[in-house]
Structure 1
């Protein structure tokens, strides 16, 4: 645990911040005020997402690490940028959301770079920002020796993510019907989701952990297609589901205020939520135990629990903090370690401003 924390803080976080700083310079050049604001927000307010994804670069060889980090951070910026466009614009058009998220499909499909992303909205001129993000993802994954073998598994996870982003952003009255219908269709094809509730399945599709894991292993070479799909199944749906359910747990109050969909609100009560998340944690740990580098992946799973539960939103809400303590207990000793470490790191970060290469503030 100490070794992982050391490498994350010394090797991963600084390079993640440098990559974000480079993309921030590019975002500042966007002439359209609204698109520039969303682009900068996707970088400045979601540093945590890129830092977390960057941890998976520890799985690859040192000489490949920079390429993997560039792919992960860039892909994550696309996700966060598109989420901002869908969340905060007035559009409720599923065709608009599908076109925007074509960027994520193309990011995993070298040789395809067609700028159709803004075809259903008035704000189109981003000075090539989104196309540049896509192009960098394509360039980096082409250096991964086993990308061809991992591509179909990565695309499957990406398609799930894209579908979620479409269905959860449509008109309020259409969200649940679309998501429920999608769940019914998927559980006929993916037996693993049959023991889930529809909103738990939806949560499992909203994580990028599996894509980043596959990217790291593909960069090392020696991966075949069957192994890639096995890795995918170790992360989807349980480990990814736990990740996003925790994300929704800490955002409940904010989502309620913004009238946004939050999957944690569908649980009957606190006991039901804690029991179901405990089951997700147990099943995720079982499957991650079948992974190469199983110890690493199980630690990451426990670390995710801790990092979310150490979030300021939880720490400043007595009711959420009480629930969080119950969740920390089912995470075990490693979760307690990461929880304390994350809490201390956040406190230090609050007191110290770390200037990025672009002169901004990262957290």
Structure 2
């Protein structure tokens, strides 16, 4: 936490400020609005992701800009597709090609907006892609990690296409897609598999692993299996848990809505927590990854949105019951960081 307070959080904010300034210069008003909104409302995604840079502090000057750039693409496109005037799956797939190109240093960026109504972003998205490509070239173990990162990026892209098409088509498209992949995660329900594909944590962990030149393909495979599906699933199910009211108002798909009741939702999330804990024991520095799991629970369950939703508050209390000391430690830290960070942001952008 000392590394995070002293180095990771300030340097993440500095990188976010660079992309905030770039977003503010986007010519098209709708693209500019969505780019700025994605940074303002989802800043904590980058702050949380950048924690992985604490695992290799000498390489943080590569890892933090890489994580911030990649997560900023993810958040920007999520906003763009959520509030899009289009529901064309080919449009969404082309936009998300940027995430595949970002993790392939040999890829040549294309016109990602070719099928999108608004297309004048002043080079914003391409700059984010190029920033990622430049950084992954600096990771000495990247070739070993690359196929596993690409697998997660492809799954993420598929999810973003299917979850943003016409509402009446979404569920069947996701079910058909799950049929192709359910053998990979037989213990998960279809909505939980979909949630697992929506996390960027596995990619960030592989970025960290690739900062070590000694990384082998076999080690990368173990890391991939240790994060996908359960750690990734926990991450996104917690995100959906606290966003239920918000998604209901926005007409957005929420994977927590597919449980029969709150009791089933609680049981499934608790099951995923336990499986995630077991999985990370297979990789070196497992205490760091257990910290990530407890930090996720603390970060999301301390969110102000929890207190505004009765059902979520009930589930949260039960998940936090008999919490280990590590989770309570991160709960206090999450509340403090959130208060301090939001106060700073109001001062900067009021």
Task: Name the CA shift for 1:102/1:276 in 2 (closer, same or farther; >3 Å).
Answer: same
Q: Which residue of 2 aligns with 1:135?
A: 130
Whether the 8 Å CA contact 1:64–1:220 is kept in 2: the answer is no
- Say how many residue pairs are matched: 350
Whether the 8 Å CA contact 1:204–1:238 is kept in 2: the answer is yes
**Where does 1:1-363 land on structure 2 (aligned, <5 Å)?**
5-60=1-56, 62-188=57-183, 190=184, 193-329=185-321, 331-353=323-345, 359-360=348-349
For 2:166 and 2:322, the matched residues in 1 are separated by: 37
Find the residue that maps to 1:91 and give its secondary structure. coil
Find the residue that maps to 2:85 and give its secondary structure. coil
For 1:204 and 1:265, the matched residues in 2 are separated by: 16
Unaligned runs of 5+ in 2: none
For 2:293 and 2:181, the matched residues in 1 are separated by: 25
Whether the 8 Å CA contact 1:305–1:331 is kept in 2: the answer is no
Find the residue that maps to 2:177 and give its secondary structure. helix
RMSD of aligned Cα (Å): 1.5
Whether the 8 Å CA contact 2:230–2:275 is kept in 1: the answer is yes
Moved more, 224-233 or 137-146: 224-233
Report deviation, 1:38: 1.2
Task: Name the CA shift for 1:349/1:139 in 2 (closer, same or farther; >3 Å).
Answer: closer
Report deviation, 1:251: 0.3
TM-score by length of 2: 0.96
Unaligned runs of 5+ in 1: none
